[in-house]
Structure 1
Amino acid sequence: MSTHRFILEPYKGVSTRHTCPNCHRKRCFSKYIDTEKQIQFPDYVGRCDHEQKCGYHFTPREYFEQNPSEKEKLSEDNFRSYMPVNAPQPKATSYIDLEIINQSLRGYPSNKLFQFLSTQFGDAETLKLMEKYKVGTSRHWDGATVFWQMDYQNRARTGKIMLYNPETGKRVKEPYNHVTWVHSVLHKGDYNLKQCFFGEHLIPEDKSRPVALVESEKTAIIASYYLPQFLWIASGGKNGCFNANSLSVLAGRSVVLFPDLGATDYWRSKIGLMKSYGIDVQLFDYLEAKATESERKEGYDIADYLLKMRPDEAVLQQMVKRNPNLKTLIETFDLRLVSIQRGIPQPKVSPPKKRGFRL
């Protein structure tokens, strides 16, 4: 007889098997239950029966790690014995050594994205943004940018390396798409990657502001400068992070989705999933409804609209003047108009001895 407190719900008919939050197959998901009936786990805490094709397994231990207030209700013995007998142990998440990250947080004068953003915001403000989001520099390509995925416990899941045109701020896609991953560059073949949101490390530090979710890491950085009323994070792609392992960190938060043009319907389809995790979700789709054909072809996101503004003018006021469609954003979310003084001479960033860690 099992002495474990937290076990997978025993099979007692189809009502005890549920839809998997990851692969969305029906009647294949077993939830964890508390045999002492004191802890009520969210619906995403459980295991999918399709171990090969899906492999989803969100354990009570992971839940308690992300919800320390719930863990405090347990004795140490109970916490150690959370697993059912003979349950397969999930493979541990891999992380990048913090020394590698720290070595990359330099060399900004040679960083192509830093060069572009400095033309918009000045060196000092751009440096603040890079440091806030822990954006690094890589010499895998000369002047490449590393977007570190730092999770809610400040552990680096991985880093995305991308190269930008310093004049336009656009990604370099010719003669090939310049994007790769740190764990691939470091040849970590057995790396067990579990991605998280870009900017996730900021979530536990700021519990007051609503969270704004965009696709691009660059967009999150730019939007955080123009619209500081939100805490901006990025999914890293159209399909990125829409799973229970990632979304659980947003439980109990107010989240506004700002999809790229063309991705609105897909992101709208994820609202029900997000609400099932206790997330208060809104979708800003006004840009999708009003975008021009040219803007759709270019795949605009909110950063493209924001960057059309002159840097020495008040932010939201000029955004409305230049893009009347964005007035709805202000009215919908009751944003307080802010003016940010610019045009003041910015201190230069002193070139460090190294130009960035060689990834």
Structure 2
Amino acid sequence: METFKYSLDKSSKKYVCPNCNKKTFVFYFNTASGEYLPSQYGRCDREQNCSYHNAPPKGKKAYLIEFLLLKQISSKAVKLTDINGLISIIPTSQILEHNMNSCYITEWYLKTSIINYQCNEFKYFNSENDSIINEVKNIKPPDAIKPSYHKLELLDEMYNNNPIQDNLTEYLKTVFSKDEVNNGILNYYGTGTNHFWNNATVFWQIDHKENIRGAKIMLYDKHTGKRIKEPYNHINWLHKAIKQPDFNLNQCLFGLHLIYEDYIKDIAIVESEKTAIIMSLFLPDYIWLATGSKGNFKYKLLEPLKRRNCFAFPDKGEFINWNKTASELSKKGFNIAVSNILEQTDFNNGFDLADYYLIENTIVNNN
């Protein structure tokens, strides 16, 4: 049974209520010392007619956060890596209690952080000496919102019944043979669309259970193969184009549907969907997957790869972040080696593995 530091007096003593002026007011007292709190703290017993209640302050509210690593980096801050691999720098003053693998962090700090905490256990701490002064509550997590899926008929309609040639495919045919491009696009169910922009490319996110989780639409230049970023970044989603406002997008790795087709092949991970397709043509001995963004190299999306041998090729400038994530995930049984090959080039940040191979291919062909 939980013992609270402050509790309402359970004796028959009653005092004048400051709200209704009836002798129905019950004081709070300190359960440790037995002393009454100042007279403004209490509750009126006339719950229907008055219902006045002035509870003593609870102190600092803090949530229990599980972590993989908690490291002191200065006298005023620690580095915390949570169970999802997210890294946060937290003021020491905001960690009110900790043990080997969890700690209580103030709600005030968590509201400004990227740490998921709202369904976690919480309790209150006295702001003077960090002793517990109120109850511990286990909050029932809210019902998870089920992910939405596109119907297979939609993919079939766009891929087979109403095909549209997209600019990216046109560009790839200037680098590879027509058969190579058709086979590469087929593996990923690449399709064209005129939604949002003419001759755009649809990248279908199909998970390892063959659920179609989403479809990203992007526009490329058919002469250079580069994304159109002016006057704005040409990226959108199919569920918005076909007007499904309640579609709950729950992304997976691009190409994830391929991982069970060959258990012998190692898996290679890049950021861009275009890069995954191009590298599958250059190096078909790997299963090529894409995160879709640098921030999607994380546990939630990588979880289906836990028992596979993986190699990650981050864009230039992102090696340190991806390598840190891979190191943390290795503690959970992942086997992901992160390559720094692009960090050794003279190109600008954002340069990716497809750029590297396309340049090498051009040099070889010119010679």
Structure-2-length-normalised TM-score: 0.61
Q: Does 1:132 align with 2:184?
A: no
Q: Does 1:296 align with 2:345?
A: no
State the alpha-carbon separation in 1 of the partners of residues 157 and 103 from structure 2: 45
Q: Cα deviation per residue 1:202-251 (whole Å; 9 max; x = unaligned)? A: 012221111110000000010111112211100001101413x3221001
What residue in structure 2 maps to residue 183 of structure 1? 239
CA RMSD of aligned residues (A): 3.1
Q: Cα deviation per residue 1:159-180 (whole Å; 9 max; x = unaligned)? A: 1100110100000112221110
1:163 to 219, 227, 235: 219
State the alpha-carbon separation in 2 of the partners of residues 24 and 93 from structure 1: 26
Q: Does 1:265 align with 2:320?
A: yes
Map 1:301-320 onto structure 2 (within 5 A). Answer: 301-310=352-361, 318=364
State the alpha-carbon separation in 1 of the partners of residues 182 and 218 from structure 2: 18
- Which runs of 5 or more structure 1 residues have no equivalent in the other structure? 1-13, 30-47, 53-84, 323-359
Task: Say whether the 8 Å CA contact 1:196–1:246 is kept in structure 2.
Answer: yes
Q: Does 1:248 align with 2:303?
A: yes
What residue in structure 2 maps to residue 114 of structure 1? 169
Task: Say whether the 8 Å CA contact 2:164–2:192 is kept in structure 1.
Answer: no
3-state SS, counterpart of residue 119 of structure 1: coil
- Which runs of 5 or more structure 2 residues have no equivalent in the other structure? 1-62, 68-81, 89-100, 105-115, 121-138
- Once the two structures are TM-superposed, the CA of residue 88 in structure 1 deviates from its matched residue by 4.1
Q: Cα deviation per residue 1:21-49 (whole Å; 9 max; x = unaligned)? A: 165687379xxxxxxxxxxxxxxxxxx65
State the alpha-carbon separation in 1 of the partners of residues 64 and 221 from structure 2: 55
Higher radius of gyration, 1 or 2: 2
State the alpha-carbon separation in 2 of the partners of residues 280 and 116 from structure 1: 35
Q: Cα deviation per residue 1:232-286 (whole Å; 9 max; x = unaligned)? A: 100001101413x322100111111100011111111211232133221111103
State the alpha-carbon separation in 1 of the partners of residues 185 and 65 from structure 2: 47
Structure 1 residues 22 and 261: CA distance shift in structure 2, 3 A: closer
1:204 to 245, 260, 277: 260
What residue in structure 1 maps to residue 118 of structure 2? 50
State the alpha-carbon separation in 2 of the partners of residues 233 and 28 from structure 1: 36
Instruction: Name the one with the larger helix percent.
Output: 1
Amino acid at match of 1:199: G
What residue in structure 2 maps to residue 27 of structure 1? 102
Q: Cα deviation per residue 1:110-145 (whole Å; 9 max; x = unaligned)? A: 210110001111222111111101111111111100
How many equivalent pairs are there? Answer: 250
Q: Which has the higher contact order (CA 8 A, sep 6+)?
A: 1
Task: Say whether the 8 Å CA contact 1:116–1:168 is kept in structure 2.
Answer: yes
State the alpha-carbon separation in 1 of the partners of residues 217 and 102 from structure 2: 39
State the alpha-carbon separation in 2 of the partners of residues 176 and 16 from structure 1: 39
- Once the two structures are TM-superposed, the CA of residue 187 in structure 1 deviates from its matched residue by 2.6
What residue in structure 2 maps to residue 77 of structure 1? none
Structure 1 residues 310 and 282: CA distance shift in structure 2, 3 A: closer
Q: Cα deviation per residue 1:284-303 (whole Å; 9 max; x = unaligned)? A: 10320x211xx215x21111
State the alpha-carbon separation in 1 of the partners of residues 163 and 357 from structure 2: 23
Amino acid at match of 1:117: L
Amino acid at match of 1:300: F
Task: Say whether the 8 Å CA contact 2:66–2:103 is kept in structure 1.
Answer: yes
Task: Say whether the 8 Å CA contact 1:28–1:50 is kept in structure 2.
Answer: no
3-state SS, counterpart of residue 269 of structure 1: helix
Task: Say whether the 8 Å CA contact 1:28–1:49 is kept in structure 2.
Answer: no
- Once the two structures are TM-superposed, the CA of residue 186 in structure 1 deviates from its matched residue by 2.4
Structure 1 residues 303 and 254: CA distance shift in structure 2, 3 A: same
State the alpha-carbon separation in 1 of the partners of residues 64 and 142 from structure 2: 23
What residue in structure 1 maps to residue 148 of structure 2? 94
Which segment drifts farther, 204-213 or 108-117? 108-117
- Once the two structures are TM-superposed, the CA of residue 306 in structure 1 deviates from its matched residue by 1.1
Amino acid at match of 2:358: L
Structure-1-length-normalised TM-score: 0.63
Amino acid at match of 2:83: C
Amino acid at match of 2:260: P
What residue in structure 2 maps to residue 146 of structure 1? 202
